[in-house]
Structure 1
Amino acid sequence: MQQADLTKRINELKLKRNAVILSHYYSRPEVQDIADFVGDSLALSQEAVRQDADVIVFCGVHFMGESAAILSPNKTVLLPEIDATCPMADMVNVEGLKILKEKHPEAPVVSYVNSSAAIKAESYICCTSANAVEVVNSLDADEVIFVPDKNLAAYVASRTDKKIIPWEGHCPTHHQILREDVLKMKEKHPRAEFIAHPECRPDVLELADHVASTRGMIVHAERSPAKEFIIGTECGLIHGLFKAVPEKTYYCVSEFACCPSMKMVNLEKVLTSLEKMQQRVIVPEDVRARAKEALDRMLAVKIN
């Protein structure tokens, strides 16, 4: 089926199912283009709550679908590719986290939203890459456990007086962006600003002109006087940058900055998901309720 035919059929079924299609910035460009909303994972889940839809089709990885199910328990959440999992989210497990909590009973657990519902349920509060520093500083504790990303933990540690106890996880896509990659691109494009995601290695962030979340990168590109940018995150964001600020130029920092899991969803799988109402994401109610408490605590934190 041609792309135009796929899009037409998807739109027909979307109306029939009273569905809303959400796409993360890291998805394939054609998937972003057919989505009703494109954004980062938490913002999309919050948007789903606001939508008068019966069905949420989440074009992303498993933890994203879980977040939507946590916040919209009365809606059907579909993940077009059930095998699309986040390697970083899979690096932390409940049993290991419980052991770490026993070792540090006074340290509240801060879990990055890029984690499973089960991990969120074991956490005191969640955070995003945009608000991690503010969330940690809001806690009445001298030390905190931070899961699952050690790179984001290191970024937070450099901006707080609290002791950060990190979990030894990382995003493989961001972790394989190397300092040498950045230096080569800076030499090739000397007028370009380098903006990096805080999931990158600390020595990569040292070279950044600006550190920001995925959405934050788009906002920065809109506001910055610079005309060229080296993008230190997953390559899919460049499509969103071109759509938001088409008059500027963007270079991906590395050819390896591509997440295989985020590229698993294509238009055919979106169509099949709507046709067969699959694959449904279900979070057990006891887990969902505890995970939502952690998300709600995060949303209550005032950001300057």
Structure 2
Amino acid sequence: MTAGRGDPELLDDLVGRSLGWLTEWRDHFRLPPDATTDADPNLTLKPLGELAELTQLIASCHPRADFRAAAQGLFTFAWRQAREGELFAELIRGEPHATYPVEIYGAFAQAGLRHPAVEELVLTTTGLRGWRVAREDHTRTLGVLNAERRIGLSQHAAFDAEFALTGLGLLPEPWALDRRAAYGVTHDVFHLTDWGRNRRRLAPEAAGYLRLWLPSWLENWLEEQLWDLVGELLAVAACLPAAPYDAAAWRRLADAQAGDGGVPETGAAPRPDDPTEAFRACYHSTLVTAFAGTLARIASEEAGTGPLPVRDAATVAGRTPCESEAAL
């Protein structure tokens, strides 16, 4: 990995084709009629939430207006699928202790999209004793705390204290990092930096640890052809100070992208007869590729030309457009 400008042409090609695939397959993010009752949220609400989270970042931060417009269209689609917030009110009423409705709603709230009933409900549910029960892991708790911050709620735990107990916070032995732990580390970075909007939150010790070991981790997962995790690790690299750019890893990821713009989660591009199966095999890794390419493109612009131009109302004097007041 080397610091400095990346390859804007390659990054733009990756992001543009990924957004094209996501737009082409947009209808597969549609929620079924039973989304708030019997449907599996991992197959319905989780994909929609990931679409909202990552396209909102791209729509706010990418240097190219056409990519921002494409991402904004996908983000608007996700809000409409959420019935402009009514979906979250129903979910919270049905599962008052569940965190995922609040986490997904937080992505919309950060963009200024609010729903009065949800705002009233979360004031009550996040104050319940059951809400303060520890999540399945500390990384997930960081996501919940970020959602509370985005909505404007009092955080139910201290963010820094929770981060200190995460995989990244504990700086574990890097040679023992398995697949699950690697995903945990990437999400520790994403929650800490608000998905790359506030990269200055990475402490020098954590940033140095990541800079030292990312090349080895990338080499491992490139060999495994786990493109989803490769994309997340490249996104983490773009969050580091003087963001290092691994040209070989980016080229390998670009080579894995199919002609239609989809990026398989692992191995070669799938060719299943079932469109739903094809969608599930590619949607997350394609989203991650667009997200990582956006962060790397921003880092490339900063390295080569200084501060990025003003792009939207979220820009605050002295910060990049990804570093709004709410993220500080």
In the superposition, the TM-score normalised over structure 2's length comes to: 0.27
Task: Choose between structure 1 and 2: higher helix proportion.
Answer: 2
Structure with more relative contact order (C-alpha pairs < 8 Å, separation 6 or more): 2
Task: Choose between structure 1 and 2: higher strand proportion.
Answer: 1
In the superposition, the TM-score normalised over structure 1's length comes to: 0.29
